[in-house]
């Protein structure tokens, strides 16, 4: 007996002989009984989903929705079905994910030789993720410092004199320099160092750029567009907040920026941070 | 055990004894047979399956003294044959029955249906609490997809449970049946409280 045949039986489409055969089995064989009744439930679902043909729908209504009792049974079946569908919709994705994971772990348990390479791959992925995150954090920190330097060295800021600032003049480094390196001592009462950098080259530029470089670890920050001022010669002022400085040796490379954007040879300055 | 009042006690006992010599077993068979015959009559398109089931038992009870001594085989098949005749007669009557103009069959009022729908929902919630987590998950998984997609879904579900679609369908039917029975008991209880 096929499901299709039993479905026809449930809708009263079979002849007397076929009906008799199925009915006798229904009464005497428990498996057949449950099979027929289970198929009947699916038929009711199809009716509730409105997927029956017009003819089947008519047949269904004349068998399953004639009496108050039958209609009550339909309402009960519908309420069970509606509840199950509503339950299924909400956590469907989570169930699918969890079942995928459980299948994955089941397969893994069956193939232990995969565990070592998979674990190694996971460790490498974690390390790479940590390195990537650190580098992202460093980049953010670096760009925040450069923004602060740009703000502090804007023409408007340079016209003001903050209270916790001291000014220091640095001499350009030459091959024959014999002077001791300038020391900047970090103190709680100092917030900003203003460095005066004399530009000794003949060429003059409308704008300059300075690169602050810490010797010990190659950390560097760019200060763009500082301008030259005349203080008995051309001098470029740059301001450094003390919190970006650490003990160690620093160099400043100062370049003139030509109108076409090209850079002049650099003047070099150096200082040591102590304290 | 309830019996139709039009059947004499003697006939009723004889009918039970025919189903099985053990009265306990016979009682269970009788109740089961009532339900099964009502289903068969429903599938045959009878207008009142429960009422016609009573008619079947009445007819068998009246004849049991004659039939039982000579009948060979499962007595339930005799009941089925009687049910078949009853259904045919009912269908014949239904065809000749002329509906009264402007007089519909008494149907449940909308307010009654609304009240019952609310009661069914309440009973469903309390019955679901009695359902095991495993069965609850199974019935939800069975209904995850609708229309065409449900066929694939049920095949996949059966594969995961390492069973056939047919067995899966029967398992879900049993769960739904137990839920339905629980809801019916709950509704009866609520009706008695009123």
Residues 6+ apart with CB under 8 A from A42: B169
- Pairwise CB contact (< 8 Å): A80 & B139: yes
Residue to test with chain A: of B35, B36, B38, B43, most A Cβ within 10 A: B43
Q: Do the Cβ atoms of A62 and B45 come within 8 Å?
A: yes
- Least confident residue range of A76-80, A106-110, A193-197, B78-82: A106-110
Query: Domains of chain A: which residue ranges?
Result: 3-90, 153-274
Q: Tens of pLDDT along A207-254? A: 888 999 888 887 889 898 887 888 778 899 999 999 899 888 989 999
Strand-pairing partners, residue A235, are A198, A229
Closest chain B C-alpha to A111 CA, distance in angstroms: 20
* CATH T-level topology, domain A153-274: Immunoglobulin-like (2.60.40)
How many residues does the structure list for chain B? Answer: 194
Q: Looking at beta carbons, which pairs linking A12-19 to residues 24 or more positions away fall under 8 Å? A: A12/A59, A12/A63, A12/B43, A12/B44, A12/B45, A13/A59, A16/B84, A19/B44
More confident site: B146 or A236: A236
- Evaluate if residue A109 carries a pLDDT over 60: no
Q: Tell me whether A138 touches chain B (CB under 8 Å).
A: no
Following DSSP, what letter does each residue of B6-31 receive, concatenated? TS-HHHHHHHHHHH-SSHHHHHHHHH
Q: Closest to B48 (Cβ–Cβ): which among A27, A67, A81?
A: A67
Q: Which of B143, B144, B173 comes nearest A34 by C-beta?
A: B173
Q: What local confidence, expressed as pLDDT, does residue B57 receive?
A: 94
- DSSP 8-state secondary structure symbol assigned to residue A113: G
* Fold (CATH) for B110-193: Arc Repressor Mutant, subunit A (1.10.10)
Element (H, E) at A112: none
Q: Which residue has the higher pLDDT, B194 or A223?
A: A223
Sign of CA dihedral A199, A203, A207, A212: negative
Q: Do A85 and B39 touch (CB under 8 A)?
A: no
3-state secondary structure of A24: helix
Instruction: State how far Cα A235 lies from the chain centre.
Output: 46
* Confidence at residue B103, expressed as pLDDT on a 0 to 100 scale: 45
All structural domains of chain B with their residue ranges: 9-96, 110-193
Instruction: Tell me how close the Cα of A63 comes to any Cα of chain B, in angstroms.
Output: 5
Query: What are the DSSP calls for A155-196, one per residue?
Result: HHHHTS--TTEEEEE-PPP-TT--SPPEEEE--TT--EEEEE
B 142-171: CB under 8 A from A: 142-144, 146-147, 160, 166, 169-170
Spell out which residues of chain A touch residue B166, defining contact as CB-CB under 8 Å: 3, 35, 38
At B105 the pLDDT is 47
Shortest Cα distance, chain A CAs vs residue B65, angstroms: 22
Name which of A59, A31, A84, A77 is nearest B150 in CA terms: A84
Distance of alpha carbon A226 from alpha carbon A146, whole angstroms: 13
What is the rounded CA–CA span in Å between residue A235 and residue A198?
A: 4
Nearest-angstrom CA–CA distance, A3 and A38: 10
**Is residue A112 predicted with pLDDT exceeding 80?**
no
ipTM of the prediction: 0.86
- Beta carbons of A238 and A247 less than 8 angstroms apart: no
Mean pLDDT on B107-122: 73
Please give, rounded to a whole number of angstroms, the shortest distance from the CA of B50 to a CA of chain A. Answer: 10
In chain A, residues with a C-beta closer than 8 Å to the C-beta of B95 are: none
- Contact (Cβ atoms closer than 8 angstroms) between residue A273 and residue A182: no
Dmax over CA atoms of chain A, in Å, equals 122
CA nearest to B108 within chain A: A68
CA-based nearest residue in chain A for residue B146: A49
Residues of chain A numbered 160-179 and touching chain B (CB < 8 Å): none
Asked if pLDDT for residue B63 goes beyond 60, the answer is yes
CA–CA dist A241, B178 (Å, integer): 78
Chain B residues with CB under 8 Å of A16 CB are: 84
pLDDT in tens, A122-162: 888 888 888 888 888 888 888 888 888 888 888 888 888 88
Phi-psi region of B102 (alpha: psi -120 to 50; beta: other; left: phi over 0): left
| DSSP codes, A209-245 | EEEEEETTT--EEEEE---EEESSSEEEEEEEEGGG-
Contact A79 B121 (CB under 8 A): yes
pLDDT, residue A9, reads 94
What DSSP string describes A28-67?
A: H-HHHHHHHHHHHHHHHHHHHTT-S-HHHHHHHHHHHSSS
Percent pLDDT > 70 in chain A is 89
* Total beta-carbon pairs less than 8 A apart between chain A and chain B: 111
State yes or no: pLDDT of A36 exceeds 90: yes
Enclosing H/E stretch for A255: strand A248-257
**Which residue from B43, B74, B113 is facing A12, i.e. has the nearest CB?**
B43
């Amino acid at each position: 007996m096929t499901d299709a045949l039993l479905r026809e039986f449930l809708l009263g489409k079979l002849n007397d002989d076929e009906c008799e055969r199925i009915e006798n089995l229904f009464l005497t064989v428990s498996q057949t009984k449950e099979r027929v009744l289970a198929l009947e439930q699916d038929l009711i679902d199809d009716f509730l989903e409105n997927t029956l043909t017009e003819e089947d729908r008519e047949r269904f209504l004349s068998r399953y929705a004639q009496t108050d009792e039958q209609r009550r049974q339909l309402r009960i079946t519908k309420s069970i079905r509606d509840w199950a569908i509503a339950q299924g919709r909400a956590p469907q994705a989570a169930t699918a994910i969890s079942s995928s994971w459980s299948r994955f772990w089941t397969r893994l348990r069956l193939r232990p030789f995969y565990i070592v390479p998979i674990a190694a791959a996971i460790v490498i992925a974690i390390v790479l993720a940590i390195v990537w995150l650190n580098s992202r954090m460093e980049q953010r920190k670096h760009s925040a410092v450069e923004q602060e330097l740009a703000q502090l060295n804007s023409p408007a800021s340079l016209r003001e004199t903050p209270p916790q600032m001291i000014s220091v003049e640095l001499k350009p480094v030459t091959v024959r320099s014999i002077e001791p390196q300038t020391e900047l001592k970090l103190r709680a009462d100092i917030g900003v160092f203003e460095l005066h950098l004399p530009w000794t080259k003949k060429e003059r530029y409308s704008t300059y750029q300075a690169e602050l470089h810490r010797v010990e670890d190659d950390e560097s920050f760019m200060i763009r567009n500082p301008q030259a001022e005349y203080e008995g010669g051309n001098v470029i002022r740059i301001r450094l907040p003390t919190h970006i400085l650490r003990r160690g040796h620093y160099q400043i490379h100062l370049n003139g920026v030509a109108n076409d954007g090209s850079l002049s040879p650099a003047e070099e300055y150096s200082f040591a941070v102590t304290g | 055990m309830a019996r139709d009042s039009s059947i004499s006690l003697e006939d009723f006992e004889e009918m039970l004894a025919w189903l099985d010599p053990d009265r306990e077993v016979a009682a269970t068979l009788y109740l089961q047979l009532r339900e099964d015959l009502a289903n068969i009559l429903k599938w045959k398109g009878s207008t009142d399956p429960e009422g016609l089931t009573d008619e079947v038992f009445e007819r068998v009870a009246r004849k049991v003294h004659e039939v039982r001594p000579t009948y060979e085989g499962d007595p339930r098949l005799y009941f089925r044959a009687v049910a078949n005749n009853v259904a045919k007669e009912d269908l014949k009557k239904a065809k000749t029955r002329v509906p009264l103009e402007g007089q519909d069959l008494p149907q449940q009022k909308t307010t009654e249906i609304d009240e019952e729908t609310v009661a069914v929902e309440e009973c469903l919630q309390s019955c679901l609490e009695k359902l095991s987590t495993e069965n609850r998950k199974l019935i939800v998984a069975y209904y995850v997809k609708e229309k065409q997609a449900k066929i694939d879904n049920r095949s996949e579900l059966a594969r995961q449970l390492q069973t056939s679609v047919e067995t899966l369908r029967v398992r879900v039917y049993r769960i739904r049946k137990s839920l339905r029975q629980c809801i019916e008991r709950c509704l009866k209880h609520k009706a008695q409280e009123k």
